[in-house]
């Protein structure tokens, strides 16, 4: 008999990792092979009380048995036949395990459990059942196609079914014009249709994010789709209207009409540069000078085409679709931006202001008045509500660890935390952990719920699906990875984290 023992300690979490085999190598459980399972649990801190942990063994042809740890923290079970299920047990109900069980289908599979304190999540007073508890799952199809799998309680499941059961009631999907071969999930219209229909079939709502680009669009880049690069301004306006209208019409025909639609992604400096650019970035784009960029009037005209297309689909279908304008950097004048959009661009026909909030980026600021910077999320959202708009955090995330599992450096690492800590500006920045991840999400939801007149719609978690996978690689042809796997709501093997429970547990009932 051969035995391999792997011991890991990640971000303060105890990881039990056991590989087991029998004397009859390469014989499947279906052929009733015997098992000799041995494991050791080692706690390097006082956080985990190993005396409370046992291992339950069950199978098709055996009676259930429980193996206690011996004086050397070892457990073992021998002479088993058939399919074997190994389940860690904590009678004190103090700890939780990821995954909560493993089904052994051959005699040479590795078994690993993460032992951690149970996540504590207090309900938020006054949160309604329809408060948006959403998640962006744009890379899901690409992850599935590259072999990525998601698990709940040790069982492989559809990601959307897991999310639905954990309280997620809305999904967000980005739409690129022609992303073929570019990576990042390659979320074209066909991909969006499939994922949106799957969500609708589970009675979840859908939020569609038009980037109006073939690839990523954000404050630092707003590149036109290749097919639109040579269009005149009037032709560009028509292209926006047509692409928006036709996409929504196809989704409606497929039974997947979105409930909410944003026109442009993080449009801090406009979109579809240079025609819709607000201010020149001469260092990065020296050709986009003051006399070339469209400014507020150009940006406003392009936005309006997308909003008009939404209005037309609403009129034809009789369905309400909330329209969204999306800005990043909650700590840098979102209300001021919307005021200029109204007064300088003449754009007023939208319903919701969406904000990106990542607390580990300088410009995103703090949550409440204890933040000593320019402005905070609650202050900005309250001002927007007073202006008559509904508001939502349409992107937020946080780490369950600082460890990584791919070749791409993590966006959230110790250096980033140290940089923010040095600002000493009072922002909320919990320790990256499963509990810290849940705490951050809860705090953001609580702030949104405090917006007056019920104008705070809810939040969307970004990157929760980004487990290590070829399908989740940031850009085709680059290093394997995306820099977000430590902020997913699933561990590196695809097991649902206890922090995912925050979406259910914030509800009073």
Let me know if residue 52 belongs to a domain. Answer: yes
Whether 295 and 238 map to the same domain: the answer is yes
Let me know if residue 319 belongs to a domain. Answer: yes
Let me know if residue 125 belongs to a domain. Answer: no
Nearest Cα to 220, choosing from 176, 281, 136? 281
Let me know if residue 325 belongs to a domain. Answer: yes
Whether 157 and 62 map to the same domain: the answer is no
Q: What is the pLDDT of residue 76?
A: 67
* pLDDT tens per residue across all 509 residues of the chain: 333 333 333 344 444 444 443 333 333 434 455 666 666 655 544 567 777 778 787 775 555 677 777 666 666 666 666 677 878 788 777 887 777 777 776 554 456 677 777 899 999 999 999 999 999 999 999 999 999 999 998 889 999 999 999 999 999 999 999 999 888 889 999 999 999 999 999 999 999 999 999 999 999 999 999 999 999 999 999 999 999 999 999 999 999 999 999 999 999 999 999 999 999 988 889 999 999 999 999 999 999 999 999 999 999 999 999 999 999 988 788 999 999 999 999 999 999 999 999 999 999 999 999 998 888 999 999 999 999 999 999 999 999 999 999 888 999 999 999 999 999 999 999 999 999 999 999 999 999 999 999 999 999 999 999 999 877 788 887 777 789 999 999 999 999 999 999 999 999 76
Whether 63 and 147 map to the same domain: the answer is no
Give the predicted TM-score (pTM) of the model.
0.89
Whether 274 and 329 map to the same domain: the answer is yes
Whether 175 and 236 map to the same domain: the answer is yes
The vertex-384 CA angle with 382 and 388, nearest 5°, equals 110
Whether 175 and 45 map to the same domain: the answer is no
With contact defined as beta carbons under 8 Å apart, do 494 and 472 qualify? no
* Boundary of a domain, candidates 53, 87, 117: 117
Buried b or exposed e, range 429-439, using 16+ CB within 10 angstroms: beebbbbbbbb
* Boundary of a domain, candidates 86, 117, 148: 117
Let me know if residue 393 belongs to a domain. Answer: yes
Whether 375 and 444 map to the same domain: the answer is yes
Q: What is the pLDDT of residue 108?
A: 40
Beta bridge partners of 89: 54
Q: What is the pLDDT of residue 85?
A: 80
Q: How far apart are CA 489 and CA 272, in angstroms?
A: 32
Whether 77 and 169 map to the same domain: the answer is no
* Boundary of a domain, candidates 85, 117, 149: 117
Let me know if residue 122 belongs to a domain. Answer: no
Q: What is the pLDDT of residue 298?
A: 98
Q: What is the pLDDT of residue 222?
A: 97
Looking at the annotation, which residues are catalytic? 266, 395
Whether 267 and 291 map to the same domain: the answer is yes
Whether 166 and 68 map to the same domain: the answer is no
Q: What is the pLDDT of residue 79?
A: 61
Nearest Cα to 366, choosing from 357, 338, 336, 398? 357
Print the domain residue range for 251.
132-505
Give start and end residues of each alpha helix (H) in 387-429.
Answer: 414-423
The vertex-507 CA angle with 504 and 509, nearest 5°, equals 105
**CATH number, domain with residue 355:** 3.20.20.80
Q: How far apart are CA 395 and CA 262, in angstroms?
A: 12
Beta bridge partners of 104: 84
Number of domains in the chain: 2
Beta bridge partners of 4: 19
The vertex-317 CA angle with 313 and 322, nearest 5°, equals 55
Q: What is the pLDDT of residue 436?
A: 95
Let me know if residue 84 belongs to a domain. Answer: yes
**CATH number, domain with residue 34:** 2.60.40
Whether 335 and 459 map to the same domain: the answer is yes
Q: Is 22 left (phi over 0), alpha (psi -120 to 50) or beta?
A: beta
Q: How far apart are CA 338 and CA 62, in angstroms?
A: 66
Whether 88 and 179 map to the same domain: the answer is no
Let me know if residue 387 belongs to a domain. Answer: yes
């Amino acid at each position: 008999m051969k035995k391999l023992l792997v011991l890991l300690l990640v971000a303060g979490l105890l990881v039990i990792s056991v590989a087991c085999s029998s004397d009859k190598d390469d014989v499947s459980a279906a052929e009733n092979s015997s098992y000799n399972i041995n494991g050791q649990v080692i706690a390097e801190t006082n956080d985990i009380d190993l005396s409370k942990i046992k291992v339950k063994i069950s199978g098709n042809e055996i009676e259930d048995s429980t193996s206690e740890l011996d004086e050397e923290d070892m457990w073992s079970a021998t002479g088993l036949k058939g399919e074997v299920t190994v389940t860690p047990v904590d009678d004190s109900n103090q700890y939780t395990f990821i995954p909560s069980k493993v089904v052994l289908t051959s005699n040479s599979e590795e078994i690993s459990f993460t032992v951690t304190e149970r996540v504590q999540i207090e309900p938020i007073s006054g949160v309604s059942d329809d408060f948006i508890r959403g998640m962006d799952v744009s890379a899901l199809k690409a992850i599935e196609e590259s072999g990525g799998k998601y698990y709940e309680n040790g069982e492989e499941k559809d990601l959307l079914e897991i999310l639905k059961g954990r309280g997620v009631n809305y999904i967000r999907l980005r739409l690129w014009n022609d992303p073929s071969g570019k990576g990042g999930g390659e979320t074209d219209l066909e991909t969006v249709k499939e994922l949106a229909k799957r969500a609708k079939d589970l009675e979840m709502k859908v939020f569609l994010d038009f980037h109006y680009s073939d690839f990523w669009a954000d404050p630092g880049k707003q590149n036109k789709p290749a097919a639109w690069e040579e269009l005149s301004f009037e032709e560009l306006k028509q292209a926006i209207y047509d692409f928006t209208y036709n996409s929504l019409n196809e989704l409606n025909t497929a039974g997947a009409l979105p409930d909410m639609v944003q026109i442009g992604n993080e449009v801090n400096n406009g979109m579809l540069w240079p025609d819709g650019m607000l201010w020149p970035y001469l260092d990065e784009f020296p050709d986009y000078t003051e006399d070339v960029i469209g400014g507020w009037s150009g940006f406003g005209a392009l936005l309006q085409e997308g909003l008009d297309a939404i209005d037309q689909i609403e009129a034809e279908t009789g369905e309400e679709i909330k329209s969204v304008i999306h800005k990043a950097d909650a700590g840098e004048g979102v209300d001021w931006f919307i005021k200029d959009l109204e007064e300088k661009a003449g754009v007023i026909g939208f319903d919701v202001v969406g904000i990106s909030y990542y607390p580990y980026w300088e410009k995103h600021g703090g949550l409440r008045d204890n933040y000593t910077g320019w402005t905070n999320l609650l202050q900005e959202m309250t001002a927007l509500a007073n202006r008559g708009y509904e508001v939502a955090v349409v992107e937020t995330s946080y780490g369950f660890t600082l460890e990584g599992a791919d070749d791409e450096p993590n966006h959230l690492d110790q250096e980033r935390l140290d940089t923010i800590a040095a600002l000493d500006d009072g922002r909320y920045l919990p320790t990256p952990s499963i509990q810290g991840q849940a705490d951050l999400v809860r705090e953001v939801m609580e702030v949104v719920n405090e917006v007056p007149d019920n104008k705070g719609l809810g939040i969307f978690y970004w990157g929760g699906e980004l487990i290590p996978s070829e399908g989740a690689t940031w850009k085709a042809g680059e290093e394997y990875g995306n820099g977000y796997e430590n902020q997913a709501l699933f561990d590196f093997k695809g097991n649902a984290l206890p922090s995912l429970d925050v979406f259910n547990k914030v509800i009073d009932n």
